[in-house]
Amino acid sequence: MNRTPLMPNTRQFLFALVMLVLFSCEKDDICVDGDSAVLVIEFRDASDKETLKPVSGLSVLLNDTAYQGIENQSVSKLELALSATQKKYVFHFDQEESALSDQLEINVTPIITYVSRACGYVLEFEGLSAQPIDPLDWISSIEVLIDTVTATNEPHLVIYH
């Protein structure tokens, strides 16, 4: 058999093609920043604003339904997942043990941000505001600490009682 050697141009082409394939591969992305944001609410003592004060028998309702299963719980901190399609929430904070109920309107602007190919998109919120609907029963005051809701464990909203 008579084999013809590869032409110099063909060798260069094959070498370039192999190098292109090898160097075009990306390292595997590891998603570190891929968590969508949750609204972190802390409950603090109205007389000592730095001290966490648990709320016993707390239920959080949205449209008369327990929001994320929060019903008759004793908590000093809540993490509430918000929706990409909803900008306005009216939460009923019911303190069942004392039969007191307060309503807060919470407004946010959802922002969908591309992180990376491994992480995809994350949901964040900006323009956080909160105000009472009616006169407050057991809540003394509310304070927005951070008006941009990102994936953090820091409280965004503080409810003093």
Position 6 scores a pLDDT of 52
Q: Kindly report the pTM of this predicted structure.
A: 0.76
Domain spans of the chain?
A: 38-160
Alpha carbon distances (Å) from 91 to 27, 54, 86, 131, 160: 44, 18, 13, 11, 16
The pairing of beta strand 88-95 with beta strand 100-116: antiparallel
pLDDT by residue (tens digit) across 55-73?
Answer: 989 999 998 889 999 998 9
pLDDT by residue (tens digit) across 57-115?
Answer: 999 999 888 999 999 899 999 999 998 898 999 999 998 878 889 999 999 999 998 88
Residue 80 carries which side chain, given as an amino acid letter? L
